[in-house]
Each structure stands twice: as structure tokens, then as C-alpha cells.
Amino acid sequence: MAEITTARMASDLVSSSMAPKTKEVINLDQLSLFYGTSQALKDISLKIRENVVTAFIGPSGCGKSTLLRCLNRMNDLIDNVRIEGTCEIGNQNIYGPDVDVVELRKRVGMVFQKSNPFPKSIYENIAFALRLHGVKKKNELDDVIERSLRQAALWEEVKDRLHSSGLGLSGGQQQRLCIARAVAIQPEILLMDEPASALDPLATAKIEELVMDLKKDYTIVIVTHNMQQAARVSDYTAFFYLGRLIEYDTTLKVFTNPSHKQTEDYVTGRFG
Amino acid sequence: MSSEAPSFARRSHGWMGIKRGHRARPLEWIIEKGIQLVSYSAIVMVFLIFIFVSREAMPIFLGQMDSAAVRPALSVDEAMKLPKEDLRKYLDMTPDEFVKADAEVIKMLVDLRIESSANETTDKDAKLNTTQWSHLLGPYQWTGYTKPEYIWQPVGTIHKYNIVPLLVGSLKVSFVALAFALPLALGAAIYVSQLANPRTKEWLKPAIELLAGLPSVVLGFFAMIVMATFLQSVFGYATRLNAFLAGIALGLAVIPLVFTIAEDALSSVPRSYIQAALALGSSRWQAAYKIVLPAAIPGVFAAAVLGFGRALGETMIVLMTSSASILSWSVFDSARPITASIAAELAEAVFDGHHYRILFMLGTLLFAVTFSLNLIGDIVVHRLKRRLEGKA
Amino acid sequence: MNPHDLSEPLPAPARFKRGRFDMWAFLFTGATGACTYLIITILFVILGNIILNGHSNFTWRFLTGGADKGMYDPATAGVLPMIVGTASRIILMTIFVIPIGVITALYMTEYASSTSWHIRIIRGAVANLAGVPSIVFGLFGWGFFLNFIGQNMDEILHPGGASAVWGKPALVWASLTLAVMTLPVVVVATEEALKSIPQGLREGSLALGATKLQTVLRIVLPQAMPGILTGGILAISRAAGEVAPILFTGAVSYYPELPKLLTDPFMDLGYHVFILSTQSPNIEQTRPLLYATVMALLLLTFVLNIAAIIVRAQMRRKMRLLQ
């Protein structure tokens, strides 16, 4: 059983190119996070490269989503959260005292596990994001909305009903609408929190294709509990277990020749 | 980034751009603080209510009021020995008048007081200060009475301010209301939340809650015009408007409140409890009676406490169904609760007079009692919910 | 049967048949059901009695007539001043209470952390305000709005004026008193609506770089609109029938003109029911008029109540769709 999984993964890995050694843009140093008194992340040090896809994998509750939400400070919304250590993006500590969270989030976009289109029309969903950034002219809005929907591979499906509700779309379409919304404002970094976990295999395939396509423009960090998915789309993989970073390397290395026993057990499906 | 990047995505200084700090949006900061300030208005209101109702009642609490119709007259020598301020009060003069008046005028006024006191009523009660706590709460043998009695008779030359008849009236009416409303509302809450089938439930619940939409003045009207005659013909008592009638009408106002709270408590008992009981072979009513009801009993208690608070504070119903303020524990006698007295008498009371202040004192009392009852009720409901949701 | 005696074999197959008539189940269900239907019967008796006795006098002339001639005579009296008075005071009250109630609810759900002591105290105060007896609101309105604010305004705005302008019963004081009374209704309804909005919508907006205020104004508030509407309607229907808080603050038994200024006293539908029932020189003659007046009051409050129920039901359906 384990061999079959590994064999299939190997074929996936062949298709993913060799991990490019681009500039490091995110730099975590000794990052710890506490919910009240319980520690959810323990001393995580990690450098994420530009214009590649980095996957966070690990069993449920290992802290991978929590870490992802640290990167655009979405954890600020939760009461009682305390963070130690530093998290630098482009050499700026994003937890520094004079950081404007709003500005940060404009540049570190996020796609959530559960698709969350606003109860507005498809057009308005994206226009809302653009208006936040000062795009007001009708023709400029039209242009960017079309381009974003094309980027999210949704344009062909919705071009005739741009003004109908975003809630009327299928699950996979809704998620792509959320991706279109996130890329419309052209963030440098795109965080994806299990973007395909609630979708059927066909929709998942579309999202994965999209992720690989988007990496030429964006730095993508994707959380997934689906190892095949990580193997298929990512260049680098970080494996987390119980709030600790166990292993971080190129995806090829993590899946074919992991240096830790725990990683090997997890990627071959022995636990998790 | 590709060359088609539109103009809005201009990034200056690389990632330095995120370092602008919260001061970048002063307007938003001001609005946020404004929202916080406005949200305190509920707290401010509770304080203001307490302050402005009890402020008017302060002289009564502190024993500074004097309701004596006649004060003993002083001889000229005695009067002149008084401190100036007391002398001014004794002569009922304003500070302006007092400053203008010389010693001769004052002596003349004191003589006038002595003369006029000779003509005043000889009733010994007229010299009493009936706003003292002993008179507010204790019985007193008034002139013409054969034994000490509790009497509320605020209008007249001698003001009788004993509040015991009002307290008894409030309690009596509220107890009748609870005795009528609690079993009915509780039975209905159990039926609607546990036994009724979902389709009936869908219209039963709003129908009962519609009762809460009846203004209390309408219930008072109905009690006074229709129920009074009906109940009198059924029970055959002498006084048409009595505590029993007021209690039943008040009960109608209390039912929707008790029903809503009890139904809410019963519904928040997890379905798994009931399913476990049913799986063990109990019937639906056994599950309701032996599992759900005991689990929700604090909620039922809270419903009773809050219902009692509501009954004590209700005004229009008791105002329209009460008449004389006599002290009697019999429910078939008339009763005049605190709220009815305030509503009926405040308009006639002299502004800043002792009657006025005593009515505010009663209002303060009412506020304090309902405040405590509501606090107890809310705490109990809150604890129960936390426990049933497994948070405590 | 002794439950501990499990060794005794049960007559197994017979146990699955419908047992004999279960006396207790019947009594319990019957008694609780009887309570339920008795309450509903009482409600319908009251409504039926009022409609039966009131409809014949519920005419156009009655609704548009004044109170200046023969206030207690069904043939001449109308309720237009009372309807206008009641409508004015509830409209004014809505203008005062909705912004404050909505902002309070917004602060509690969107801004303050759910464990902070601010919220606990605000919530305690709101719960408390909901339980204050209506007559105490009347005393408060009289002591605070009328005698404190009103008299001070007179001293500042009209020094040396012969008669009080603000320091007397007036539309504005009655409305303010009612606004304080109905604040909890609006807060609770708005809070419920805000809490039912999925967290994902807020996160989605914030992750796009919207500020908190932009998120609240453009995403959260539009979603909470039906809830705010429900709160407003419930507050109005509660206030429309209340008499005790306006006894000393604005309503008068006779003021046949329609209120025009904020400082005018007014006649009120609910208070008029009280006046007609207790002050009429001939209650038998007044009775048809009284019934028609009650009917007008009920129509007002019930229409509002039913509107609130419908809006709320629709809101819940919509929210279920969203989640």
C-alpha cells in the first residue's frame, strides 16, 4: 500500500520542475504562537522563496493553518493570541509596532478553506476589492475584473452573468471567484488555506492547475492535508507536527528522501 | 510582475510600504473611538436612571423632610435665639426677604406666628412628621381610630404615608399573577418545546408570543370592562375591582415572558439527552419530565424570578384594576400596588413636596427590587446556558 | 416492575406490541397541551371580543375625527389627534434609538473582544435596562429629561421667560424616554443579526486589505439590515402600546390640536384608552368608542408585530442559505 502511494507520488513529482532557487522573501525566526496559555507554534524558523509554491503539510492540528494566518496577521482577529519571535516579509518585521496591518494584507492576499464570496454579484465581489484600492473608473474596473476572472480560469464560465449573485455559483466556481478576487488587487504573496478541501476532484484539478499557473506572478504558500496535492503543485514543502517544523526542503527531497523518520511515516501514509 | 500591471498597484519603497502604522488613518481611529463611546450609553442610562430617580427621594431616605401641618409656635425670646438659617425657615421666608427684613419686622412676624397658631387645628396628629421611617413602615393610632393602623392617605390636612398597604398590594397582586401564569406558561413551554409535533409548534410559538404584543393598557381595559364582570359573576365576591382580578390580568402579561424564557431553557437542553433517554426505552413524556425538565430547572426558576419582576413593575394593568389602598391579605379585597400609586398620584403631588418625594422613594425601591430580581434571573440563565453548552 | 430484577426473563415478543393505554403519558401530554391551548384561547377571546364590539364604530369618520367636540360621545369623537400623537412619538423615538442601539451592538460584536470587561458591563446594563419597570422610566423621564435638561434649557435659551417652553411635558421628552426604554430591544436584535453573519465574510474582506470600518460598513452592516429592521419594528411595537413612561413626560388627556413642535404635548392612543375607561362620565355610552379606540391601538401594534415576525423569518431563511 505504502509503495503504491510512493510510486504514484514519484510520477507526480517528475512532472513538477526542479525547485528554482529564487530570492527569499519571507523569513520566520523562532516564531512561537500561544492561544492563552497553550502553545500552538513552537520556535518555527523558515525561509520562503519568491515566485515558487511552498506547501505546508502535516496532520490535523499541527499548526500549519495557524502559521499561514500569521503571515498576513489574520490571527489578530482572535482574542488572546500572543506571538513571540519575528516574522519578516521583505526584511520588514510584520509584527513591528508601526506596521499597518491593512497595508500588509493588501500585499499578502489570502484564499480560505471555505469559499467566502460576498453576498453580492460576481462583478461586485471583485469590484469591492478594487474599490478598496482606489480603482473607481468603470472601464478600469471592467478591465481588471475581466483579467482577474481570466487568471482564475473563470471568465468563460461567468462572462454572461457577471451581475448575478456570487452565491449562485458551484463550490469550485465560488472558490475560483475568491481567487480572482484575491489576485485582482495584485498581492505579491498569495496564501491558500486548503483551498480545495471542500471540492470534488474535478474542481480540485482546476484549482491545482490554477495554482501552478499563478506562481509565475505570485509567491504562493498553500496549506494542504492532501499529500498528492502537495507533491503535484509545490516546489518546496514544509512538514509540521505538533506545532513544530520537522522538515523543510524541496518537495522532491521531502517526498522521496526525507531526512526525518516522522516525515517519512507521514508522506508514506503510515500515520496522519 | 508582468508588464500589464495597472497603475493602482504602485508599490513604493518595496516592503517599507507596510510601515505606516495606524496613524495613517486618523479618521477611522476617531470613528472607532466614537463607536466605543456611544456603546457606553446603555451603562450611562442605567446610572442616570438610578441617580435621577433616587435624587428626588434623597430627603426621605435621609429624614430631611417634614410633613407636619402645624409646627409648635416659639416665643419671641426662643425665636431670636435660633440660628439665622433656622429662623428663616421657621418664618417661611426666602433668603432675599430675610436679608431685607430688620429685627423689628422679624419680631412682628414671630408674634404673628404665635397668634395664628392659637387658631389652628387642635388635632395632635397635625404636628407629626409622617415622612419619618417609623411612620412610613409602622402602624399608628390616628385621631378617631380605635387601634394603630397602616394607612396610605396622602391627600388631606394630615398626610398618612404608610407604605405597607402598597407593598402588600404589590406582593398580593404579583403572587396571584404568578400562581396563574407560572403553571400555564410552564405547561405550554414543555408542550411546545418537547411534545408538540414540529408543524404545530411552528404556529403555536408565535401565537403565544403574540400575547406579548398586547399592550398592557389593552389588557387593563379588557380586565376592567369584560373580565371584572365575568369573574364577579363566577366567584360572587363583593368588590368588583380587586387583587384577584388584577392578578389574573397581570398573569396574562407575565405568561409570554415566562413562556419564552422557559421554552428557551428547555430547548437548549441538548437533543442527545432526549435521544439517549428514548434509546433506553423511555417514552417522550418520560424523557421530557425526567430528563429535560430537571436539566432545565434553573431556567424555569429564572423564568419565575423574571416573571415576578415583571409583575411587580407592571403599571397600567394594576392602575386600571385597582381602587382603594387598604391593607388586607385577602385577594378578594381591593389592592393598590406601588406602581398604580405612582402613576395615579404623581400628577397631583406638589412638585418637590413630601408626597412627590415619597412617590420617588417608592420608584427607587421598585427599581432596586426589580434590578436585583433581573440580575438573579440573568445570572441563572447565563450559567445554565454555559453548563448545557458544556463551557463551564 | 423491579428494575433490578433482570434475571427474570421478559416476555420478549410481547414487549414490542403497543402496550396498554399509558395513563401517565396521556395525563402529562394532555395537561401541558391544555395549558398551551388555554393560553391561545384566551388570546383569541380577547381579540374576538375587541373586534366584535369595536368594528361597527371603526369608521373613516372615527379615524379622521378630532377630539374637540364630545370626547366621550361615540357619535362625534374621533382619534386622529391620538393617532398622530402616537405616530409622532414612535417615529421620533426610532430616530433616537436605532443609531445608538446599532452602534452599541456593532461595538459589542465587531470591535470589543468577547472576553473584555467592557462587553460584560454593557451587556449587563442592556439586560438591566430591559427589566426596568416602565413606570420607573416615566419617573426618570420626568426627573431627567423634563426637570433637569428641560428646565436648564429654559434657563439658558429663554432666560426670564414667563412660562416653561422645554421644562414641561413634550413630544421630545416622551420620545427620548421611550428610546431609553427600547434600547435593549434594538441592541439584542442587531446583535443576533450580526452574530449570524459568517466569520468568513469578515475575514474575506479583511484579507483583501479592507480596514475594519470598511468591512463593517460595506460587508457586515448590509447583511445585518433585516436584523436591524426587525429590532426597529419590535421596538416600535413595544413602544406603541406603552403608556406608563409617557404619563408624566408628554401625553396629556386633552389637547385636541395636532402636535406640531417638539415641545408640544400630545394625545396618545394608549393613554386615551386609559382616559376613556376611567374618566368617562357615562361608561355605557362611551363603550363603543372605547372598543373602537382599543381596536385602532391593537391594529397598530399587531401589524407591526406581524411585520417583525415575517422579516425575521425571512432573514433566518436567507442566513441559512448563506451558511
CB distance A218 to A188 below 8 Å: yes
> Quick one: cell of C295?
381596536
CA pair distance C245, C135, nearest whole angstrom: 6
In this prediction, residue C33 carries a pLDDT of: 93
Of C208, C223, C322, the CB nearest to A181: C208
Which residue on chain A is closest to B13 by alpha carbon? A90
pLDDT at site B3: 38
pLDDT at site B164: 87
Query: How does DSSP classify residue C259?
Result: P
Of C100, C136, A181, C101, the C-alpha closest to B309 is: C136
If you search the block for the grid coordinates 472601464, which residue do you land on? A139
- Which of B352, B148, B179, B354 minimizes the C-alpha distance to B250? B179
Of A89, A96, A140, the CB nearest to B6: A140
For a pLDDT cut of 70, what percent of chain B falls above it? 88
Contact A133 B9 (CB under 8 A): yes
| Whole-number pLDDT of residue B6 | 45
Report whether pLDDT(B20) > 90: no
- pLDDT tens-digit map of C286-321: 899 999 999 999 988 888 878 877 887 787 777 776
**pLDDT greater than 60 at residue C84:** yes
Q: Which domains are delineated in chain B? A: 71-119 (no CATH), 164-388 (1.10.3720.10)
Percent of chain C with pLDDT over 70: 92
Which chain B residues in 19-58 lie under 8 Å from chain A, judged by CB atoms?
Answer: 19-22, 24-25
- What 3-state DSSP class applies to A21? coil
For residue C159, give every residue at least 6 positions away whose Cβ sits within 8 Å of its Cβ, in sequence order, or none: none
Q: What is the per-residue pLDDT for A239?
A: 93
pLDDT, tens only, C116-151:
888 889 988 998 899 899 999 999 999 999 989 998
Verify whether the Cβ–Cβ distance B285 to C278 is below 8 Å.
no
Query: In terms of DSSP bridges, do strands B152-153 and A244-250 run parallel, antiparallel, or are they unpaired?
Result: unpaired
Out of C25, C140, C243, whose CB is closest to B52?
C140
* C204 contacts A105? CB cut-off 8 A: no
- Tell if the CB–CB gap between B192 and C104 is shorter than 8 Å: no
Contact B220, B321 (CB under 8 A): yes
Domain encompassing residue A261: 2-117+186-267
Task: Using a pLDDT cut of 90, give the percent of chain C over it.
Answer: 42
Q: Nearest by CB to C207, which of A109, A128, A167?
A: A109
The verdict on residue A90 lying in a domain is yes
User: Band of the pLDDT at B7, cuts 50, 70, 90?
Assistant: very low
Q: Write down which chains contact chain C via at least 3 CB pairs under 8 A.
A: A, B
* The three grid cell numbers given for residue A264, joined into one nine-digit string: 517519512
In a domain? residue A204: yes
Whether residue A243 is contained in a domain is answered as yes
Torsion of CA C32, C34, C39, C44, to 10 degrees: 150
Considering only CB atoms, which chain B residues are within 8 Å of C240? 215
pLDDT at position C20 is 65
- pLDDT in the model for residue B184: 95
B255 three-state secondary structure = helix
- Which of the residue ranges B13-27, B277-291, B298-312 would you say has the lowest mean pLDDT? B13-27
The answer to whether C113 and C193 have CB atoms below 8 angstroms apart is no
Query: Domain residue spans in chain C?
Result: 81-322
Which of C50, C140, C273 is opposite residue B217, by nearest beta carbon? C273
Q: Does B2 touch chain A (CB under 8 A)?
A: yes
Which residue do the cell numbers 503510515 mark?
A270
Q: Is residue A102 part of a domain?
A: yes
User: Could you tell me the pLDDT band of residue C205, with boundaries at 50, 70 and 90?
Assistant: very high
Please list every residue in chain A whose beta carbon sits closer than 8 Å to the beta carbon of residue C321.
167
ipTM entry: 0.86
pLDDT reading at C113 higher than 50: yes
CB contact under 8 A, C200 and A112: yes
- B18/A92 Cβ within 8 A: yes
Chains with 3 or more CB pairs under 8 A to chain B: A, C
CATH number for C81-322: choose from 1.20.1050.10, 2.30.30.100, 1.10.3720.10, 1.10.1740.10: 1.10.3720.10
pLDDT tens for each residue of B56-108? 888 888 877 777 666 666 677 777 777 777 777 677 677 777 777 777 887 88
- Of the listed ranges A174-178, B268-272, C30-34, the one predicted with least confidence: B268-272
- Reported as a single tens digit per residue, the pLDDT across B322-335 is 877 677 777 788 88
Residue A116 Cα, gap to closest chain C Cα (Å): 6
> What is the pLDDT, as a whole number, of residue B340?
92
In this model, does residue B275 exceed pLDDT 70?
yes
Choose from C21, C23, C28, C123 for mutation: most chain B CBs within 10 A.
Answer: C28
Answer with the residue of higher pLDDT: B29 or B389.
Answer: B29
For residue B188, pLDDT beyond 90: yes
> Do B285 and C24 lie within an 8 Å CB cutoff?
yes
Q: Which residues, in sequence order, are bridge partners of residue A92?
A: A89
Parts of chain A with a pLDDT under 50: 1-2
- Per cent of chain A over pLDDT 70 is 93
Q: Specify the pLDDT at position B219.
A: 95
| A132–C209 C-beta distance less than 8 A | yes
Q: Is the dihedral of CA C63, C64, C65, C71 positive or negative?
A: positive
What's the confidence (pLDDT) of residue A202? 86
Mean pLDDT of B313-324: 88
Report the CATH number that the domain containing residue A77 is assigned in CATH.
3.40.50.300
**Of the candidates A92, A140, A188, which has its C-beta nearest B16's C-beta?**
A92
In a domain, residue A181? The reply is: no
Query: Nearest residue on chain A to C323, judged by CA atoms?
Result: A116
- C-alpha cell recorded at residue B272: 442527545
Q: Is A183 in CB contact (< 8 Å) with chain B?
A: no
**For residue C111, pLDDT beyond 60:** yes
Task: For residue B346, give the C-alpha cell.
Answer: 404623581
Angstrom distance (rounded) from CA B243 to CA B171: 10
C-beta separation of A153 from A172 below 8 A: no
Q: If phi over 0 gives left and psi between -120 and 50 gives alpha, with beta otherwise, what is residue A43?
A: left
Q: What is the C-alpha separation between B219 and C46, in angstroms, rounded?
A: 9
Q: How far apart are CA A163 and CA C129, in angstroms?
A: 45
Check residue B147 and give its pLDDT: 80
Q: Which residues of B touch A102 (CB under 8 A)?
A: 25
Listed in sequence order, the DSSP H helices in chain B are 26-39, 41-61, 76-81, 84-90, 95-100, 103-119, 133-137, 164-190, 198-210, 216-222, 228-235, 243-267, 271-279, 284-286, 293-295, 297-313, 316-321, 338-345, 354-388
Q: Is the pLDDT of residue C16 over 60?
A: no
C323: contact with A, CB 8 A cutoff: no
Give me chain C's average pLDDT, please.
86
CB B130 within 8 A of CB B67: yes
Report pLDDT for A191: 94
Taking an 8 Å cut-off on Cβ atoms, the answer to whether C140 and B220 are in contact is no
Q: What's the whole-number mean pLDDT along residues C39-58? A: 93
- Interface residue B206 vs chain C (CB under 8 A): yes
Whether A185 and C208 lie within 8 Å, measured CB to CB: yes
Tell me the per-residue pLDDT of C236-283, one tens digit each, with 9 for 90 and over. Answer: 888 988 999 999 998 888 888 888 888 889 999 999 999 999 888 888
- What's the whole-number average pLDDT of chain B? 83
Angstroms from A122 CA to nearest CA on chain C: 15
